[in-house]
Chains A and B, each alone.
Chain A
Amino acid sequence: MTAVLLRRLLRLLVVGFGISLITFLLLHLSGDPVAMILPEATEADRATLRETLGLNRPLLVQYGSFIGRAVQGDFGQSFFHRAPALPLVFERMPTTLLLTFFALALAVCLAIPAGILTAVKRYSFVDHLATLLVLLGQSMPVFWTGIMLILLFAVAWNLLPASGWDTWASTVLPAITLGAFQAPLFLRISRSAVLEVLGLDYVRTARAKGLKEQVVIIKHALKNAAIPIVTVIGLQFGVLLGGAVVTETVFAIPGTGRLIVRAIQQLDFPVVQAGVMTLALIIVVMNFIVDLLYLYLNPQVRIS
């Protein structure tokens, strides 16, 4: 058990290191931020600035000093915001996390009960309806859903604000937009997971014992069916966190995604590095938690 945990932790470190290397290299290959900071300056001015920012040193040295400072939480000053990079990212992180959490909660609360229901009532009207909704939900891009919701709820009915992130009312449409994209996947996964388990011998045995149907499903079937569901939710958390940028853009929400995308456009290395590393760490930690849940849900994992 401890060995398993340690191994997972080690993997977490390796992944973190790998991400830092890839982020660093990709960024430095993508170009020279000095040209962006001083678009109309002379070459001499640019050289001076390059020196001040330490961009004239060999890549390896730059990476070394980047890692050395990064582990202490220092990603340097943003080239454009004239402020330290990490606090800029942290300032926005709660917004993105909250949006992701709302969306995920919404998707889980809607899709998982629906998935179980459709599995139990296979081929019923409910099942067919759900299939249709899944198809619809998965074919609507987040971008489009967001704009449609704005057109309906803000422009046509004037019920909710079209954009912003200042009142609770303004969080509703973004959460639905982001959640609606995930719900179909959860529904499908939970449906097939429950279906698979329902066909197993132990469920038949439980039924044969004369247990009530809901006891069979909730007590016996669900725990085993939960493994793939938990995996997918864990993985999708990362996807949502990264994918929140589209929702943030459509609804003008000041989240981390938008900060990073803007920083990439401006080649603002410190902010990109701080942002990507923070997001990556959250995702890695999330995966670690999923691993822990496995240990609880599936005794087999504990042994291997």
Chain B
Amino acid sequence: MKRCLRDSRYRWGVLLVLIMLGMLGTSTGAAVAADADTLVMALNRDQDNMDPHMHFQRVGIIMNINMYDSLLHKNTKLEYEPSLATAWKTLDDTTWEFTLRQGVKFHNGDPFSAEDVKFSFERVLDPATKSPQYGNIRAIKDVKIIDAHTVHLITHKPFPLLLERMVFFPIIPKKHFEKVGAQTFAQSAPMGTGPYKFVEWKRDQYLKLERFEEHWRGPAPFKNLIIRVIPETSTQIAELKTGGVDIIRNLAPDLIPDLKAHANTYVSTAPILRTHYVELDMREPPFNKKEVRQAANYAIDRQAIVEKLMGGLGKVVPTVINPLAFGYDPKVEGYNYDPKKAKELLKQAGFPNGTDITMHAGVSEAFFRQIAEAVAEMLSEVGLRTNLKIWEPGPAWDKFFQGEGKATNGFYATWGYYSTFDADAILHPLYHTEPGGWVGKWYTRVPGLDDLIDTGRSTLDKEKRMAAYTKVQSLIKDEAPSIFLFSQHDMLGVNKRVDYAARGDEWIWLYDAKLRK
């Protein structure tokens, strides 16, 4: 060793090593000192762009709502609150009048008016815009400006979901948008009337926002808002514990006890609309037979999944209609766990020795994988021997759409209802068979179901709607176009310096976050 050190080349090597070690020792100021003016949230993936009309992802919604306002808002009890609209009423079955808030300013100081509202709707309704949110508001036929602060929304047919859809429909500034163009608006110059204004976006790193002092609600509690992208859950948790990050979302249930026990963190959960299910291909054997679909439903021990895999943070649902949604009928009883009955039904359907099936699963969160595996295992146990294929959600949908769903007998997925608390928000995409529809047009063949869904979505009469959905629930319970599973909770991890509670709509509304005294 001594001899080696005498040689200059070795000395350089040793010096380098020492420098490296020195870097380790001297580094300071590592974790961001908790700054009373700054709130940091971490998400597991980035938004695609900052244009609130040109994406369909939850992370995008969560980022957008801090920069943009919609006509309506929901408070923590999920009741409608005025936002850009101060009052709203129906004039007839297809005409809605919204009175707009006066004195509201966009982040550049331009006044907000009816022109901006009309522009925002017409932009999304224009097929040339190719907005993925088109489907949410396609029921709207026309937007009429009555005066600078009154607009009428006219729908093709009576549209009971209109108010729900107004809670996330961000209004963008016509003048600014036309000046900078769509591309710049989406990449570097987004602007709304929301509580925070844009500062800087480094893709896959962070979005920096600053409080908009002239926001109509009054300035937000935190001056700076940083939304960081941290894909790895363990890293998010490390940052949360060290105070580098204040809020993280989508905790896997098995991580919750750790964060509950840690001195610097707490967990906040709330039941949300996200509902888990396995949709079945009713065109092809074996699920073209009702007995087999029912057998699949009897095969699943939902309670065990909720308790063991979800840490109790979920609720067994009788059908896909979430108890939080309008139209849910508590009188409809779900399938109980009865593997014996499942086997009997399979025998009746002509499968005394069971049969082989494939099931695809789109897995956006790590713990969804365990659920898909448990379901496959339980199905196999009663004789529906399941070949499970797990994909990222993207490729999963892609595989599905490519072959009109024929690549698989069923697929496991979750549906967040676009935060729309209404049975229609899941029934239409999953089960309606109209050609412009979503999965239902391929998979679902339940006589009479389309008509019931149509009845429910084209009247404003709540009793009539409720009656339609009650019928829907007993019909789909019996026909079993899906394996019905459970609804889940939103699970947030929060650093103790901040007060924030999870919401029932899967929003993270940071205007409500406050420094703990």
- Of the listed residues B1, B4, B202, B244, the one surrounded by the most CB atoms of chain A closer than 10 A to its CB is B4
Scan residues 138-197 of chain A and give those whose CB is less than 8 A from a CB of chain B. 147, 150-151, 153-155, 158-166, 168-169, 172
Give B244's nearest chain A residue, CB to CB: A162
Are B394 and A267 in contact, with the CB atoms below 8 A? yes
A2 proximal to B (CB < 8 A): no
Are B392 and A113 in contact, with the CB atoms below 8 A? no
Knowing A36-B394, A42-B435 touch, does A150 contact B235 (C-beta < 8 A)? yes
Chain A residues bordering chain B, tally (CB within 8 A): 58
Q: Closest approach, in angstroms, between the C-beta of B396 and any C-beta of chain A? A: 10
Are A40 and B132 in contact, with the CB atoms below 8 A? yes
B509 proximal to A (CB < 8 A): no
Knowing A117-B4, A214-B6 touch, does A36 contact B205 (C-beta < 8 A)? no
A278 proximal to B (CB < 8 A): no
Which single member of A36, A159, A162 contacts B238 (CB below 8 Å)?
Answer: A162
A62 contact set on B, CB distance < 8 A: none
A31 proximal to B (CB < 8 A): yes
Q: Closest approach, in angstroms, between the C-beta of A122 and any C-beta of chain B? A: 14
Are A214 and B3 in contact, with the CB atoms below 8 A? yes
B152 contact set on A, CB distance < 8 A: none
Are A161 and B31 in contact, with the CB atoms below 8 A? yes
Knowing A159-B30, A254-B204 touch, does A218 contact B7 (C-beta < 8 A)? yes
Q: Report the Cα distance A30→B87, complex, angstroms.
A: 50
Give A31's nearest chain B residue, CB to CB: B398
Q: Report the Cα distance A40→B14, complex, angstroms.
A: 61
B10 proximal to A (CB < 8 A): yes
Q: Report the Cα distance A31→B7, complex, angstroms.
A: 59
B402 contact set on A, CB distance < 8 A: 31-32, 35
Give A250's nearest chain B residue, CB to CB: B232
Knowing A32-B402, A40-B132, A162-B239 touch, does A254 contact B30 (C-beta < 8 A)? no
Q: Closest approach, in angstroms, between the C-beta of B54 and any C-beta of chain A? A: 8
A209 proximal to B (CB < 8 A): no
Q: Closest approach, in angstroms, between the C-beta of A5 and any C-beta of chain B? A: 29
Give B238's nearest chain A residue, CB to CB: A162
Are A163 and B235 in contact, with the CB atoms below 8 A? yes
Knowing A36-B398, A117-B4, A163-B235 touch, does A252 contact B230 (C-beta < 8 A)? yes
The 0/1 profile, CB within 8 Å of B marked 1, for residues 217-255 of chain A is 010000000000000000000000000000001111010
**Secondary structure dominating the interface of A:** helix
Are A113 and B14 in contact, with the CB atoms below 8 A? yes
Give A165's nearest chain B residue, CB to CB: B205
A81 proximal to B (CB < 8 A): yes
Q: Report the Cα distance A265→B32, complex, angstroms.
A: 32
Which single member of A37, A38, A154 contacts B31 (CB below 8 Å)?
Answer: A154
Scan residues 14-35 of chain B and give those whose CB is less than 8 A from a CB of chain A. 14, 16-17, 20, 23-24, 27-32
Are B231 and A258 in contact, with the CB atoms below 8 A? yes
Give B400's nearest chain A residue, CB to CB: A35
Are B30 and A160 in contact, with the CB atoms below 8 A? yes
Are A169 and B30 in contact, with the CB atoms below 8 A? yes
A135 proximal to B (CB < 8 A): no
Q: Report the Cα distance A155→B187, complex, angstroms.
A: 35
Are B31 and A82 in contact, with the CB atoms below 8 A? no
Are A172 and B127 in contact, with the CB atoms below 8 A? no
Q: Report the Cα distance A40→B435, complex, angstroms.
A: 12
B48 proximal to A (CB < 8 A): yes
Knowing A42-B436, A82-B49, A113-B13 touch, does A163 contact B27 (C-beta < 8 A)? no
Are B398 and A169 in contact, with the CB atoms below 8 A? no
Q: Report the Cα distance A34→B6, complex, angstroms.
A: 65
Q: Report the Cα distance A213→B186, complex, angstroms.
A: 66
Query: What are 11 A-B interface contacts by the 8 Å CB criterion?
Result: A31-B398, A31-B399, A41-B132, A83-B187, A113-B13, A155-B241, A218-B7, A249-B232, A252-B232, A259-B204, A265-B393
